[in-house]
A and B are shown apart, each in its own frame.
Chain A
Amino acid sequence: MGLPLGRWLAGVVALVWATAAQAAAPFEDSMAQRTLACTACHGDQGRAGPDGYYPRLAGKPAGYLYHQLLNFRDGRRHYGPMTRMVDVLSDAYLMDIARHFAALQVPYPPPQPLATPPAPAALARGRTLALQGDAGQRLPACVQCHGERLTGALPDVPGLLGLPPDYLTAQLGGWRTGQRRAHAPDCMASIVQRLSDRDAYAVVSWLASQPVPADSRPAPEKPALPAEFAGLKCGSAPPPEPHR
């Protein structure tokens, strides 16, 4: 059985209302108004664009979003339309924009089935890489930095769930070729250098097929790295200050 009729109707009404409100939204002096240029591609409230490439912004850690805005402006990430958008914006305003989207808690849609369903073996390998890593290949688990539930970690590490597979693949490829960079030392670049094509496909397939947990908020802080990865340093996500 599907949804009860009442809830279904309420959903339709809400949707129609939201569409109407969007079309004739009166002007307001707000960050939502200011960032209409962003949501034109990244979807209403930064929920992600409809075409599977423009990633979600809503609810991502503010530090992560801020660094990406700086990276586009300062040439560490390359996407002409994004660079053009942030070219004459100050650090302070980029931080305002990052905080605005970080504060939006909107539900994730369920993951879309992949166009070509991955083989169970690939999914199993992807799961292992994401949750346990591969010490032999010196690959830390994704959960090591991106949060136990892979919803990210405050303030700088993004979540990995609810992202389109095309986007995830493009980012891994970008890191491998140097098209995407982070502040030095670039830990993600060094990890991707050790990731084989087969493993990249496996981990993307597994990540893209996981539902986002109901509580999609990032972990309050990045967990400490185990001894074998102590040398892994991230310029964009420095280790948390020691507790006093």
Chain B
Amino acid sequence: MAASERSDPTRPRRWLWRWGVGLAALTLLAIGLLWHLNYNDGVDITAAEPAPADAATLARGTYLARVGNCLACHTARGGVPAAGGRPLATPFGTVYTSNLTPDADTGIGRWSAGAFWRALHHGRSVDGRLLYPVFPYTHTTLLTRADSDALFAYFRGLPATRAQVLPHELRWPYSTQAALAVWRALYFRPGGFQADPAHSEAVNRGAYLVQAVAHCSACHAPRDRLGGADWRDLSGGMVPGLGWYAPSLTNAAEAGVGPWPEAQIVRLLRTGAAQQGVASGPMAEVVFHGTQYLTEADAAAMAAYLKGLPQQPAARPDAPPNAAPSRLATAGAKLYEQHCAACHGAQGEGVPGAYPPLAGNRAVTLAQTENLLQTVLHGGFGPATAGRPRPYGMPPFTLTLSDTEIAAVLSHIRSAWGHHASEVSPLQVLQMRQASSGNLR
């Protein structure tokens, strides 16, 4: 800068003023943009109600609510169905689900079909508030207006239940509408489902069910630190707040079903178990409350769509092949004989229809060991479904085996039978014990 400029006493003030105006203009522009992105949806929620739903519409709404798993979240444990109040843990605090029964004060009794549509499509509540994306409007925005109206008819037909839902317990700044507006600007665009003319009607129906109704990527998309994701991505991610990994649906080494016969995918969705694997953890819940009610045709459509997803190349194994078993894995082999072989077989072959094989089981060799640890520590049953009404159970080992013993047995099954997955350390077992001791809703 020239000396003469510096000596002019009015110059710095003018400079400041200019910057100030510029900054103010930018702020206004940003606020305007945020307003436009969040509030400029133009939905008239006072519009005249559609004619009362006919029986077919009501049946469709009931079906969509079921397979879309609305009630699993909108019902507290042991509570009135759809009356809300279930706490959902997120990395930003706890969110309580809302009452969807037609109670006037605490439910959706005063809502119009337009208001319901605005919630599903734009993620805004009846009072104009931005909704927290724990409610997957990132996915329901793809629903058709007709399906939204059918769902509304279903919820309006439920018995009205007065149930004041607890206020959310979110940390600042995540608790603010401003933070939500920014989040939505980054990760949410109201959309509509676009059928791909290159694909069959069935595949497009499957895409609609996977993307909009069943909102699979709410769990199966990798989320970033703000909980955002590309919602078309199904390449696997940690389920927020639960300590389970939702494996990739686009990788045959995880849960990609490209090589599976379609009938097996249908079986997994409708009964909770296929020849190649079983649904466990949060997916068992999804099957129990939701996908077991899929019609055969819809399950087949989802299967066809999932089979056709572009597949990622298989990653290289994370331990060198033919490495001699470690001391930990050798100790695990003995424990396996004692505690596991009676059901899963000496060679990890399992029992068809009862116990899954462990040899060649992708859930055993996943790089993410969370699901294995949860399963061995806490055990559990597969979902009891119409197609598989009396599943077999896995005992919990949290009280009988130490951290080192669990690490040993898992290291064994991850390196036996031609597997080359990494070892599991006692520290990982301890961490999972601590993380999963209180995460039941």
Contacts and interface: CB of A to CB of B under 8 A. Distances in A.
A221 to B, nearest CB: 28
A88 B395 CA distance: 15
B398 A88 contact: no
B253 to A, nearest CB: 26
A74 B77 contact: yes
A88 B394 contact: no
A85 B383 contact: no
B383 A88 contact: yes
B288 A88 contact: yes
Given A37-B394, A41-B396, A75-B78, A84 B380 contact: yes
Q: Of residues B338, B342, B382, B385, which shows the largest number of chain A Cβ atoms within 10 Å of its Cβ?
A: B342
B23 to A, nearest CB: 53
A80 B393 contact: no
A45 B294 CA distance: 37
Contacts of B76: 75
B390 A93 contact: yes
A242 B323 CA distance: 73
Contact of A84 (B343, B378, B392, B400): B378
Contact of B400 (A40, A89, A92): A40
B92 interface: no
Interface stretch (A28-36, A121-129, A153-161, A195-203): A28-36
A57 B231 CA distance: 47
Contacts of A23: 338, 342
A23 B396 CA distance: 17
Nearest to B399: A41
A96 interface: yes
Task: Assign chain A's interface to a size class.
Answer: 20 to 34
Contact of B77 (A24, A37, A75, A85): A75
Nearest to A71: B78
A41 B394 CA distance: 12
A88 B285 contact: yes
Nearest to B379: A37
Contact of B393 (A24, A35, A76, A81): A35
A90 B382 CA distance: 11
A162 B305 CA distance: 57
Interface in A40-97: 40-41, 73-76, 80-81, 83-90, 92-93, 96
Contacts of A131: none
B331 interface: no
B437 interface: yes
B393 A88 contact: no
B342 A34 contact: no
A194 B338 CA distance: 49
Classify the interface of chain A: helix, strand, loop or mixed: helix
A38 interface: yes
Contacts of B437: 80
A40 B400 CA distance: 9
B284 to A, nearest CB: 5
A83 B77 CA distance: 10
A37 B393 contact: yes
A40 B377 CA distance: 13
B389 interface: yes
Nearest to A39: B395
Given A27-B354, A37-B380, A92-B389, A84 B440 contact: yes
A89 B78 contact: no
A38 B285 CA distance: 20
B380 A85 contact: yes
B392 A85 contact: no
A74 B381 contact: no
A227 interface: no
Given A80-B437, A81-B398, A33 B380 contact: no
A29 B288 CA distance: 22
Contact of A89 (B379, B381, B396): B381
Given A27-B351, A80-B437, A85 B389 contact: no
Interface in B325-348: 338, 342-343
A103 to B, nearest CB: 16
B391 interface: yes
Interface string B416-439: 000000000000000000000110
B374 to A, nearest CB: 9
A37 B382 CA distance: 12
A25 interface: yes
A88 B285 CA distance: 6
B384 interface: yes
Nearest to A86: B381
Contact of B284 (A37, A81, A88, A96): A88
B49 to A, nearest CB: 35
A93 B378 contact: no
Contact of A25 (B287, B342, B383): B342
A26 B389 CA distance: 22
Given A24-B342, A74-B78, A75-B76, A90 B389 contact: yes
Interface in A180-197: none
B136 to A, nearest CB: 21
A112 B78 CA distance: 37
Interface of A: 23-25, 27, 29, 33-38, 40-41, 73-76, 80-81, 83-90, 92-93, 96
12 contacts: A23-B338, A41-B396, A74-B78, A80-B437, A83-B77, A84-B396, A87-B285, A88-B382, A90-B385, A92-B384, A93-B384, A93-B391
